[in-house]
Structure 1
Amino acid sequence: MPKVTLHHTFHVRNTPGALQAHLSQPQSYVGLSPLVVAVRDVSTVDGETRYVSVERLRLLGLVRYESLVKVTLRSTPETVEGEATAPGGVRLGYRFTLRERDGGTEVEDRLVVQSWNRTLLGRAARRAREAQLARAGVLAARLG
């Protein structure tokens, strides 16, 4: 399956623990990605949190569509990671690595986007990159 790996490292003026706590809560992802408008069906089993992320998309620039994405979330004191599966066969693996640095936290944001179709992969990777870059500003505003 074709894939694209995206990396972005940024700094937030807060502790790794504060970032880990925030990123470990499904509700925190509303607005953290510009497409995510809600989360639902949250459950935790054996240290994994599973939920459905509701993403609002526009098809062909006209029709508004809500995509339901199944998400699995895991965390340790130094990382928050998981997988997401969207309709159409797009998969996303993500990992936030949190390191104390310069009076705050260095966040390494790594995304692996996969799809069976290269055209769909390109679109999904572009959207994921836009969300990844926006996430740095959102986290800094929320926790900085």
Structure 2
Amino acid sequence: MPLDNFSTTFRLGAPPAPVIAFLNDPHSYIGLAPLVVAVRDIRVTGDETRYVSVERFRLGPFHWDNAIDVTIQVAPGRVVNTVRSPGWVRLTATVTLTEAGDGCDGTETIELRAPWFLRAFALRKAREAQTARVAGLTARFPVL
């Protein structure tokens, strides 16, 4: 499967610690990620959190709930989300945060692997999710 890789940068009005704490909570992704409608089966072991995220896809009056396995790993200045979705879609989103004045600078890098028949769709949804996450983070932690 081909690998797609893209990133974006942003500035937040909070130091890295509260942002990392927020991103380490699976419930934070409900609303932060546009497709996520629920999280369940949360298991925390050390610096790793595993859970099932439920993404809802809509097509007119119909919807389909996609249960995906997510692992969050936290390290100083970094949060890594590893996603295993049905259909052999694999995604790793790494948020790196560095102190910058009263806030922090962030970079989110996404690596996506998807089979050819899902690649364009998965790539479009991953980019949309990244844009929404950054907008949600900058709204929650505004630069004053």
CA distance in 1, matches of 2:47, 2:20: 14
**Residues 82 and 135 from structure 1, CA distance in 2 versus in 1: closer, same or farther, beyond 3 angstroms?**
closer
SS of the residue 1:88 aligns to? coil
Residue 91 (structure 1) aligned with residue 90 (structure 2): yes
Structure 1 runs of 4+ with >3 Å offset: none
TM-score normalised by the chain length of structure 1 = 0.92
Shift of 1:141: 1.4
Shift of 1:134: 1.6
Kept after mapping to 1: 8 A contact 2:47/2:75: no
- The gaps in structure 1 that reach 5 residues or longer are none
TM-score normalised by the chain length of structure 2 = 0.92
- 1:13-64: CA deviation from partner (whole Å, max 9, x where unpaired): 11111111101111111111100111100001243110000101025x4520
Kept after mapping to 2: 8 A contact 1:3/1:121: no
SS of the residue 2:31 aligns to? coil
Kept after mapping to 1: 8 A contact 2:72/2:80: yes
Give the residue type in structure 2 aligned to 1:85: R
CA distance in 2, matches of 1:142, 1:11: 12
Q: How many pairs align?
A: 142
CA distance in 1, matches of 2:90, 2:58: 19
- The gaps in structure 2 that reach 5 residues or longer are none
